């Protein structure tokens, strides 16, 4: 069985309602049908996702990991459908199908495209390789992706590629009251006793972060989770995690440079023609430059290296 969005939606409904009965009612299906579907999902994923108790259902540790990844995907799908429907009703200009991994530059880029009468339809994915395949298959017009250092992307033949940033240093987000947060940059040894959170579904991230930690002589405890979950757990003091340098700090979360910049990514824009790249690249560069300068730690780093 191949997992689909409807399966993830069912898992979220069970977790949110706390019971198969209420989840089935919310989803408009029969409870036996939902129970059967859950068993098939658990077989596919290799273990129980919920503990069935007299008082209802609660997620197992595996279930919490899966839900942490499923919730943002379901939310992104809802947003995608809503934006696609809105775009379908808008005849003011040609649609542009954009694929992207997570980036704070997206909002500014989409705003600039709309100002030029290019109506964007957005497809988010944690896997840059998946987005490049969609682009090669004709399901996207452009793809904004990142390539983790040491983990080359599998670029299909025939795509035009343009480098946005040759090497973007990755920073670390940590609790604001962490002792290391008192400095503008941290040493990895300062974080040796912390739990780290890594998203293993992001192409190359697991391998790259492990290489970085091993090179520093560290073997910390590692949890799996998406960046939404990681940000939440950083704010509550549970974990530290690698983050983009454009990430905005908050009252409970600090963003700091890692001494020596041991981990970097290359930011790339891909299309099927050079002409398509020419039409959208300037707006992306402007949007990225905008958010880069809004991030205090990254702005300081850029000024230091003379960018």
Task: Report if pTM > 0.75.
Answer: no
Residue 82: the pLDDT is 63
8 in Cβ contact with 73 (< 8 Å): yes
Residue 307: the pLDDT is 62
Reduced to 3 states (helix: H, G, I; strand: E, B; else coil), residue 204 is coil
Q: Residues 236-250, buried b or exposed e (16+ Cβ, 10 A)?
A: ebbbbbbbbbbbebe
> CA-based diameter of the chain, in Å?
63
173 in Cβ contact with 243 (< 8 Å): yes
Reduced to 3 states (helix: H, G, I; strand: E, B; else coil), residue 250 is strand
pLDDT digits 0-9 by tens, 187-237: 999 999 999 999 888 889 999 999 999 999 999 999 998 888 898 999 999
- List all residues 6 or more positions away from 185 whose beta carbon is below 8 Å from its beta carbon: 256, 257, 258, 259
> Which helix (H) or strand (E) is 53 found in, with range?
strand 50-53
pLDDT digits 0-9 by tens, 140-158: 999 999 999 999 999 999 9
67 in Cβ contact with 43 (< 8 Å): no
Mean pLDDT by 10 residues, the chain (307 residues): 86 90 84 91 92 87 91 80 61 78 94 89 91 92 96 92 97 96 95 94 91 95 89 94 94 95 97 94 97 92 79
Euclidean distance between CA atoms 278 and 286, whole angstroms: 14
3-state helix, strand, coil in the chain (%, to 5): 45, 20, 30
283 in Cβ contact with 142 (< 8 Å): no
Q: Residues 43-65, buried b or exposed e (16+ Cβ, 10 A)?
A: eebeeebbeeeeebbebeeebbb
Residue 54: the pLDDT is 79
Token pair for 168:
């973007």
């Amino acid at each position: 069985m191949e997992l689909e969005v409807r399966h993830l939606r069912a898992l979220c409904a069970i977790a949110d309602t706390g019971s198969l009965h209420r989840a089935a009612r919310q989803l408009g299906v029969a409870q036996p049908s939902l129970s059967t579907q859950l068993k098939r999902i658990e077989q596919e994923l290799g273990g129980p996702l919920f503990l069935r108790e007299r008082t209802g259902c609660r997620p197992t540790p595996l279930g919490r990991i899966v839900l942490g990844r499923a919730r943002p995907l379901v939310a992104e799908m809802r947003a995608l459908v809503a934006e696609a429907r809105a775009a379908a009703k808008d005849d003011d200009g040609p649609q542009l199908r954009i694929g992207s991994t997570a980036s704070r530059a997206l909002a500014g880029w989409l705003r600039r495209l709309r100002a030029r009468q290019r109506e964007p339809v957005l497809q988010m994915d944690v896997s840059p390789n998946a987005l490049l395949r969609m682009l090669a298959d004709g399901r996207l017009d452009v793809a904004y992706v990142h390539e983790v250092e040491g983990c080359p992307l599998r670029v299909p033949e025939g795509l035009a590629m343009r480098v946005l940033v040759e090497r973007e240093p990755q920073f670390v987000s940590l609790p604001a009251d962490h002792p290391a947060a008192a400095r503008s940059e941290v040493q990895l040894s300062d974080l040796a006793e912390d739990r780290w959170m890594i998203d293993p579904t992001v192409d190359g991230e697991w391998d790259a972060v492990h290489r970085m930690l091993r090179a520093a002589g560290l073997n910390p405890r590692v949890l799996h989770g998406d960046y939404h979950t990681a940000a939440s757990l950083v704010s509550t003091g549970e974990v530290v995690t690698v983050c983009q340098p454009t990430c905005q700090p908050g009252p409970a979360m600090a963003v700091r440079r890692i001494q020596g910049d041991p981990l970097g990514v290359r930011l790339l824009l891909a299309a099927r023609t050079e002409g398509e790249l020419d039409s959208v690249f300037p707006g992306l560069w402007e949007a990225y430059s905008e958010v880069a300068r809004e991030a205090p730690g990254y702005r300081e780093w850029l000024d230091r290296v003379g960018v």
